[in-house]
């Protein structure tokens, strides 16, 4: 099979990649929003939004596999435990807020009792707001033996 000859130079190719990148992320976030609205707020059956979910999961898998192979996850952060914790807390908090709004909209009892929403949703909000609950690493305290090994005093 004959290879096609490129008609763009490196700068134009980089510009095309930037356009593709922007368009991909716009479609990604719009699909996520559409899935959330249809499944949680409109109570649509899975058969109605299942195809969108499938496309979304394929794109998620492609991004994860591609980033894992290259070892690069984004442009702005380093792969550290602190960053992973921050990102997971942000994601858990966003999901807890969306879930609380969905509970409030779909249950007549909660519409009349706003405090009931907080009581019902507190198991989901606690992990997002309390890092000690979410991560056992945050609960670790050095003992005397560890202090002697590392040469650092116990605080």
The reported pTM is 0.57
Are 55 and 79 in the same domain? no
Please state the rounded mean pLDDT for residues 9-19: 90
The count of domains in the chain is: 2
Distance CA 81, CA 58 (A): 27
Q: What is the DSSP letter of 151?
A: T
Looking at residue 34, what is its pLDDT? 92
**Burial class of 132 by CB neighbour count within 10 A (0 to 12, 13 to 18, 19+):** exposed
Is residue 132 in some structural domain? yes
Query: Residue 64 is part of which domain span?
Result: 7-72
pLDDT greater than 70 at residue 78 = yes
| CA gap 70, 64 in Å, rounded | 10
Predicted confidence band at 155 (pLDDT cuts at 50, 70, 90)? low
Task: Between 1 and 67, name the one with better pLDDT.
Answer: 67
Residues 66 and 12 in one domain: yes
- Let me know whether 53 and 101 are in one domain: no
Do residues 137 and 81 make contact, with C-beta atoms less than 8 angstroms apart? Answer: yes
């Amino acid at each position: 099979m004959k290879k096609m000859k490129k008609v763009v130079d490196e700068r134009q190719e980089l510009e095309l990649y930037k356009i593709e990148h922007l368009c991909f992320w716009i479609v990604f976030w719009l699909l996520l929003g559409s899935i959330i609205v249809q499944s949680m707020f409109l109570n649509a059956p899975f058969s109605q939004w299942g195809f969108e979910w499938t496309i979304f999961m394929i794109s998620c898998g492609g991004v994860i596999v591609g980033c894992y192979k290259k070892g690069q996850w984004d442009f702005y952060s380093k792969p550290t435990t602190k960053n992973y914790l921050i990102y997971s807390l942000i994601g858990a908090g966003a999901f807890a807020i969306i879930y609380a709004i969905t509970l409030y909209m779909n249950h007549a009892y909660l519409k009349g009792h706003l405090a009931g929403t907080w009581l019902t949703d507190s198991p989901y909000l606690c992990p997002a707001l309390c890092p000690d609950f979410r991560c056992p690493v945050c609960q670790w305290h050095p003992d005397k033996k560890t202090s002697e090994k590392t040469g650092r005093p116990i605080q």
